[in-house]
Amino acid sequence: MRNIVLSIISGLLLTIGWPTYGFPLFLFFGFIPLLIAESNIRKNKYSKSQVLGLAYLTFFTWNIISTGWLYNSTAFGMWFAVLVNSLVMSLVFLTYHIVAKRTTFMISSIFLVCLWMSFEYLHLRWEFSWPWLNLGNGFASFTSWIQWYEYTGSFGGSLWIWTVNMITFKSILLFLEHKDKTILYRSAIRNGIIISIPIIISIIILNTYEEKGHDVEVVILQPNINPYTEKYNTNDTRIGILLDSLTRSAATSNTDFIIAPETVFADNNRLNNFSRSIAKNTGKKLLDSYPNAHFLSGISMIDVFNNPNKIRKQTNTYKEGIYYDDYNSAFFVRPDGSSELYHKSRLVVGVENFPYQSLLKPIVGDAMIDLGGTVAKKTTQEDREVFFTNDSIGVAPIICYESVYGEYVTGYVRNKADFLAIITNDAWWGNTQGHKQHLSYAKLRAIETRRSIARSANTGISAIINQTGDIVSSLGYEKQGTLKGTLKVNEKITFYVKAGNYIARVAIFLSIFIFLFSVTRRKQKK
């Protein structure tokens, strides 16, 4: 019973440390009760299934409370995400337990830290990708603590959290063995230093950082269209009229960019007819009135064909001999009428993609989650597209879920994006922590890349975020309106943009090496 209580406490500590309602200091101690429970089991030689069960209890508690808001969009999707993510986290912890029985405390601690970051890296890469609870995201509401993310990315935060957890855990074990309170005093001082130094460094960076680049004026549109009752029952003509009205309430002759949210145009747009679409004509019409501006918006598009040579991995079958590619896209219109398209490439599992289709389709059939009328697999593109103005200002068209991926976003910056435009539709989750967390994660991307962000969200929260991750201005949830402001365009490249998730790659190497070492050592003993 004691171990069960410890497991639940760990889950609750991780939960109350999570944005946007929590205080991240709790993350530094969140794993300790679970680690103590695992140590108790290891000493008493209980079964691996008990470790797995206790770990699952911890991670299920954390997942269900922190991401249970997914239920508002899809009950199946929420339970799948919570149950599977909790299981994978538990398997990571079980692997640590196996290694810890065969190696020293120091080696097993390094292994757990590295293995966890390897798991987080996997969550950024595999088809069941769900990096929402990657530990480095936990500081998203306290950006003054993590200005050094421009050097480490969010994996620096994960490493920081685990380092304090393991050092504290070691001190507790020593205290339980020797019953000497000075061990706890020294541990408190040591942890205070380890926690404080990165925060002090961050504050110094924050107070000395000067935003780079010149100002551009942006007008961000927030149409506030309910995706369940209005979105797919509203034609593009009415959307165009609404966006025109919103724009004219705020745009001026000095406006450089007009930005509308993800899939705001969703009225059966054909890829081969885009140049004559209502969506593009809306953009051109707006720019006739504001000749210095550029229009960036989201659009749903399909490409229907009967040529089997065009079939790709993500192509959908309409009926025998007829196929179609379904796109969640962004388009860009310049004052001269020229335009470009970008297709979203980091997709929501089960809603926009069918993970490991060749393996799962024979088992579950063509099962996709119906989310507001979207049931088809989305087609992506390989490169991170950057839209350029005629005077060479580059804007990154980041669509919704893509903004959660740090290294992915650096691809836009390496392709010369001078600022980031995040277009999204967070209304699926209702007025929950979902849209608030999503907004807060955008602040991490600003710090990592030192790029200002213009965020257009269908129902909110739309925002302008500066290069240090501060929200300069915002438009609240479920409000229809515009947000006008200035942001700076920046050409400088941060170390993280150049190096990417190098911490995670080192962690993968170390975790594999230690695992093989522990297995070999066990065999030699036998």
Measuring CA to CA, how many Å separate 302 from each of 229, 233, 234, 283, 379?
A: 22, 18, 18, 20, 9
**pLDDT tens per residue, range 205-251:** 999 999 989 999 999 999 999 877 666 667 899 999 999 999 999 99
State whether residue 55 is helix, strand or coil: helix
Task: Find the angle CA(432)-CA(465)-CA(280) to the nearest 5 degrees.
Answer: 85
DSSP state of 45: T
In this prediction, residue 361 carries a pLDDT of: 58
Homologous superfamily of the 215-491 domain (CATH): Carbon-nitrogen hydrolase (3.60.110.10)
Separation of CA 463 from chain center:
17
Per-residue pLDDT at 354 exceeds 90: no
Considering only CA atoms, give the Rg of the chain: 25
| C-alpha–C-alpha distance, residues 291 and 286, integer Å | 8
Per-residue pLDDT at 525 exceeds 50: no
| β-sheet bridge partners, residue 340 | 332
Domain positions in the chain are: 2-209+501-525, 215-491
**pLDDT tens per residue, range 282-299:** 999 999 999 899 999 999
In percent, the amount of the chain with pLDDT more than 90 equals 74
In this prediction, residue 9 carries a pLDDT of: 97
Nearest to 412 by CA among 400, 398, 426: 398
In this prediction, residue 358 carries a pLDDT of: 63
Residue keyed to tokens 């599992």: 349
Structure-token pair, residue 488: 């700076």
In this prediction, residue 177 carries a pLDDT of: 86
For residue 410, the tally of other CB atoms under 10 A from its CB is 25
| C-alpha–C-alpha distance, residues 421 and 417, integer Å | 10
Residue keyed to tokens 């994960």: 158
| C-alpha–C-alpha distance, residues 474 and 211, integer Å | 19
CB 466 within 8 A of CB 450: no
In this prediction, residue 80 carries a pLDDT of: 86
Per-residue pLDDT at 370 exceeds 60: no
Separation of CA 283 from chain center:
29
**pLDDT tens per residue, range 406-458:** 999 999 999 999 999 999 999 888 899 999 999 999 999 999 999 999 999 99
CB 264 within 8 A of CB 236: no
CB 227 within 8 A of CB 460: no
Per-residue pLDDT at 151 exceeds 80: yes
**pLDDT tens per residue, range 312-346:** 878 888 888 899 999 999 999 999 999 999 999 98
Q: 371 exposed, middle or buried (CB, 10 Å; 0-12, 13-18, 19+)?
A: middle
In percent, the amount of the chain with pLDDT more than 70 equals 93
In this prediction, residue 364 carries a pLDDT of: 53
Per-residue pLDDT at 479 exceeds 50: yes
In this prediction, residue 376 carries a pLDDT of: 67
DSSP state of 274: G
